[in-house]
Every structure is written in structure tokens, then in C-alpha cells.
Amino acid sequence: MARFVLTTKLLAAVSGALMLALVAPGASAADAMPGMAKATRQELGASAVFAPDGSLLVVTKQGEHVMLYRSSDDGKSWSAPTAVNAQPEQISADGENRPKVAFAADGGLLVSWTRPLGKPYSGAIRLARADDGQRFSPPLTVHKDPAEITHRFESLLTTPDNKVILAWIDKRDLEAAKSGKKAYRGAAIYAAVSTDGGRSFQPEHKLADHSCECCRVTSAIDADGAPLFMWRHVFEPNERDHALARLKPDGTVESVQRATFDRWKVDGCPHHGPSLAVDERGVRHAVWFNQKDGAGRGFYGRLAAGSGISVEGQRQVGGPRAAHADMAVAPGKLAIAWKEFDGERTQLRGLMSADGGDSFSEIALAATDGASDQARVVRRQDQLFVFWRTEKEGFRLFPLP
């Protein structure tokens, strides 16, 4: 035991020194190849979006900065990164919680992230905007609530009328219940709306009580333009299925409906959030993870609108270890990507549908030996791609057929 203690202390010292060596000359650390393996486990959480000019933008974390990378050749080479936040601060970039990137309707480039505060589980939702896509204004906190509690796992949605809506997991109601010695199931979802492309935000409001505590939130725009947010919810007594909120044009809640019906009863944290996309015919497609009949599985289904949502065409995504699926749509096609450990390596796989999700063909995309981020499906006009960051290979982009 004593020998072990010495070894880990030594390791800690060595890795600390290596980190210093890597981080100290700020510019050169920032210029390092994205995703190169470091001495200590790196937080790999990254998000990607195509710019109007067709270049690919990626945001991820380097120390206490969100860094923006750009590729004009579909991921073959990357520009020197730009720091989104000039002033250093803590940034979450682990599995379910990562910086997000999107364009406002007026062309402004938006980057959001969760800034962990001092206390465990605490965070503030931050947003920075670059009018010219290059130089970012200082980040602002999108909520008025200054409490050092959970405001985390934000989802960033932009609408054609230049609104920017962020929704996140918020524990203010849980904390209030605790102070009053009352029980409160899960956490809550709050949202803040900007009508000026993300330059300022109206006071936040609650979308729903009783969300799950630490699964990513997803968003999309409904057939008629209404903003949609979907998250893992805690239905009574402890069923961790999903809920879908439809918002009015002003961002307030129109409806919150149960969206999945797998009835996973657990007092625990699945760490596994959903993904939602609405196709050009207005059909809502979702992927999610649930335990059903005792087995944890990835699922795909269409969320048919009505007085209550009914799930159509529910099917399993991948094998028994399929994890963290993401999805996107382009005209005439739908793609799902996920990762799946095969006993030796982590496989990246995809499902493609050309008939609105009635039938799919499965494709193998890549594999890695080391740690990897969740994959994301990204769209450029009529084409879909899978973006994947791995510890060993860095940023990778796979065009889908």
C-alpha cells in the first residue's frame, strides 16, 4: 500500500509537471493538435456545426478556455484555435455536458457552456457571441439567479426570427424544497430567451418540474416553427422516461408531454440524454436510452403529436452496448450515430434511413482503442456527417452516404 501511495503521488507530480509544461506557453498549448493524448485524462466533450460558408467549426475545452477550431477541408486540417472566453474560467466538457456552438439568424456565432462554480453540482450557463464569427464579446450568464447551485447541461437553440433560447437543468426548486424540509423529485428545467440574437436575455422561466438531474437536454424546431426541448424526466414515482416541451413564440410553455414509455424505474443517474430532430415533413424523430424489460438499450422512435404523444416505429439502436446516440435530418434522409464498445475497442456506427425512419441500413464508421467523446451528427445543406473526437485520433469527420 505504501508503495502504491508513493507511486500515485509520483504520478500526480509528474503529470502535474507535464500539464504545466503543456499549458504554460498558452499559445503553443492552444495550437496543439486538437484531441492529442495528454498526460492526464482530458475532457473530450466537443460540439460541431457547419458555418454558412461550409467550413466546420468545433468548440471544446483547453484548460480554462473554450477554444474554437475551424476546418475548411472537412476535417483534414484545422486552423489555430481562437479562445472564446478571454478571461479564464472553469468549463464543463465531460460526457453529457460540453460547450455548444450555433449560428443566430443574424449570422452571429454563439458558443454556450456550463461554468462549474465552487460547490459540487453547481454551475452557471454562459454564452458568448461573435458578431463577425471571430471576435467574441465577453461571455454573459444567461440566468438572473446568482445562487451557487445547479444550472447545468444547457441546450442551445436558435430560431429563424433571431431568437436564442437556452434550456438547462436547474435545482432552485429542489434547494427551496430542501430548505422547507419537503420532498422534491429530481430537478427542474428552466429556459431563457433572447430576442436580439444572444446579446441579452429576458429573465428565465420554468419549463417543468421533476427533470432527471444529469442527462443532456436536446432541442429542435417543430413543423410550425415552435421551439421544442426534450429531456429525461422523472415521472411518478421514479420512472426515468422523457418529456417534450413545446414553447410558444415568446418562449413560455405551451405544453409538456410525456414522450417515451419504457418505464425505467431507478433512483439513480442514467447519464444518458436524448436527441431530437424534426424532418422537412414535420415528423419528430428521437433517439434515447432506457432500461426496458431489465436491459439498457438505445432506442429510435417517432414522437407523433396529439393530445398525448405516441411513439411510432420504436426500434433498438445498435447492440446491447450502444451508447449516447445522436441524430440529425436532412431533406430525404435521417441519420443516427452512436458508439459501442465491442470488448476490445469502441466502435462508431451509424443508421441511415431514406424513408422517414421506416427502415434503416447500418454502417460501420470508425473505431478507437482509447477514450472517446460522444459522436454528433451534423448537417451541411443536403448532406449529413458524423463528427467524433477521440483521445488518440483527435477530431474526425465522416461524410454519410
Chain centroid to CA 389: how far?
14
Residue closest to 401 by CA, chosen among 347, 362, 358, 359: 362
Cβ 184 vs Cβ 172: under 8 Å: no
Cβ 167 vs Cβ 189: under 8 Å: yes
Chain centroid to CA 351: how far?
20
Listing DSSP states for 118-134 in one string gives SSTT--EEEEEEETTSS
Among positions 227-266, residues that touch another protein (CB under 8 A) are 266
Question: Nearest distance from residue 372's CB to another protein, in Å?
Answer: 8
Q: Which range, of 134-142, 223-231, 287-295, 301-309, touches another protein by CB under 8 A?
A: 287-295
Q: Does residue 369 interact with another protein by CB under 8 A?
A: yes
Q: Which range, of 6-14, 19-27, 48-56, 221-229, touches another protein by CB under 8 A?
A: 6-14
Cβ 127 vs Cβ 110: under 8 Å: yes
Q: Does residue 12 interact with another protein by CB under 8 A?
A: yes
Q: Does residue 8 interact with another protein by CB under 8 A?
A: yes
Q: Is 162 left (phi over 0), alpha (psi -120 to 50) or beta?
A: left
Q: Which of 36, 80, 176, 269 binds another protein (CB under 8 A)?
A: 269
Cβ 35 vs Cβ 389: under 8 Å: yes
Q: Which of 121, 131, 147, 315 binds another protein (CB under 8 A)?
A: 121
Q: Which of 296, 313, 315, 356 binds another protein (CB under 8 A)?
A: 296
Among positions 193-212, residues that touch another protein (CB under 8 A) are none
User: Which string of x and - marks every residue 328-367 that binds another protein (by CB under 8 A)?
Assistant: -----------x-x-xx-x---------------------
Could you tell me the CA-to-CA distances from 224 to 44, 144, 302, 330, 379 in Å, in that order?
36, 30, 17, 17, 20
Q: Does residue 371 interact with another protein by CB under 8 A?
A: yes
Residues 328, 329, 334, 338, Cα dihedral to 10°: -10
Q: Does residue 179 interact with another protein by CB under 8 A?
A: no
Residue 16 or 332: the one with the smaller Cβ distance to another protein is 16
The grid cell for 292 is 426496458
Q: Which of 181, 224, 295, 382 binds another protein (CB under 8 A)?
A: 295
Q: Which range, of 2-10, 49-57, 66-74, 329-337, touches another protein by CB under 8 A?
A: 2-10
Q: Which of 231, 289, 300, 338 binds another protein (CB under 8 A)?
A: 289
Q: What are phi and psi of 248, to 5 degrees?
A: -75, 170
Residue 212 or 334: the one with the smaller Cβ distance to another protein is 212
Q: Does residue 14 interact with another protein by CB under 8 A?
A: no
Residue 8 or 87: the one with the smaller Cβ distance to another protein is 8
282, amino acid identity = G
Residue 194 or 346: the one with the smaller Cβ distance to another protein is 346
Question: Nearest distance from residue 254's CB to another protein, in Å?
Answer: 31
Residue 371 or 397: the one with the smaller Cβ distance to another protein is 371
106, amino acid identity = D
Residue 202 or 291: the one with the smaller Cβ distance to another protein is 291
Q: Does residue 184 interact with another protein by CB under 8 A?
A: no
Question: Nearest distance from residue 90's CB to another protein, in Å?
Answer: 12
Q: What are phi and psi of 358, to 5 degrees?
A: -75, -40
Owner of C-alpha cell 443532456: 216
Strands (E), 52-144: 56-62, 65-71, 82-83, 100-103, 109-115, 124-130, 140-141
Cβ 338 vs Cβ 347: under 8 Å: no
Residue 355 or 369: the one with the smaller Cβ distance to another protein is 369
Footprint of another protein on this chain (CB under 8 A)? 4-5, 8-9, 12, 40-41, 94, 120-121, 213-214, 266-272, 289, 291, 295-296, 320-321, 323, 339, 341, 343-344, 346, 369-372
